[in-house]
């Protein structure tokens, strides 16, 4: 987990450096914040971005390690929810890191 937790910072820096110069290639780097935000657009159809709980658990502001662990548990089908199993089924480790970094940076609305 510590290795995963450390990865985003390096790649965030790399991503920010590149962003000003060139259009991103199709294969996005792991914790590019723009990529994490784009991936999150799939989450916010159900999980409210403002962190309110209206029937679907809030996911903003989680520690990245926990965020990744929960996603992995759906991908391995240890946790039972077909929507989440389907969504996580195609998330790579890098996708999860980017998502975790993005959601970790959000704060619930007051």
Partner 1 sequence: MKADRRTFLKGAAATTGVFALGAPAVLGQAKPKVVVIGGGPGGATAAKYIARDAKGALEVVLVEPLKEFVTCFHSNLYLGGFKTFEEITHTYDKLPGYGVTLAHQMASAIDRDKKQVRLADGVTLSYDRLVVSPGIDLKYDSVPGWGKEHEETMPHAWKPGAQTKLLKAKLDAVPDGGVIVMIAPDNPYRCPPGPYERVSMMAHVLKTAGKTKAKIVIIDPKKTFSKQGVFQEGWEKHFPGMVEWLAPDIHSGLKGVDPKTNTVETGFETYKNCALVNVIPKQTAGKIALDAGLANESGFCPIKPETMQSAKDDNIYVLGDATIAGDMPKSAFSANSQAKVAALMVRGELTKSPTFPARYANTCWSLITTDDTIKVGGSYAAKDGKISAIDTFVSKAGESAALRKENQVENMGWYSGITNDMLG
In the complex with partner 1, which residue's Cβ is closer, 1 or 86?
Answer: 86
Closest to partner 1 by CB, 5 or 34: 34
User: Shortest distance, CB of residue 17 to partner 1, whole angstroms?
Assistant: 13
End-to-end CA distance of the chain: 30
Nearer to partner 1, 54 or 107 (CB): 54
Tokens of 92: 């790579």
Closest CB 9 distance from partner 1, rounded Å? 19
Residues at the contact surface with partner 1, assessed by CB under 8 A: 19, 23-24, 26, 28, 32, 34-35, 38-39, 41-42, 44-50, 52-56, 82-83, 85-87, 89-90
Q: Tell me the residue length of the chain.
A: 110
CA distance 82 to 63: 24
- Hey, CA dihedral for 65, 70, 71, 73, is it positive or negative? positive
């Amino acid at each position: 987990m510590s290795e995963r937790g450390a990865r985003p910072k390096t790649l965030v820096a790399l991503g920010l450096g590149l962003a000003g110069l060139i259009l991103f290639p199709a294969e996005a780097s792991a914790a590019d914040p723009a990529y994490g935000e784009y991936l999150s657009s799939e989450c916010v159809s159900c999980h409210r971005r403002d962190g309110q709980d209206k029937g679907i658990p809030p996911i903003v502001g989680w520690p990245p390690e926990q965020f990744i662990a929960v996603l992995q548990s759906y991908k391995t089908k240890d946790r039972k929810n077909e929507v989440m199993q389907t969504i996580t089924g195609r998330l790579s480790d890098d996708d999860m890191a980017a998502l975790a970094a993005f959601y970790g940076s959000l704060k619930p609305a007051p």
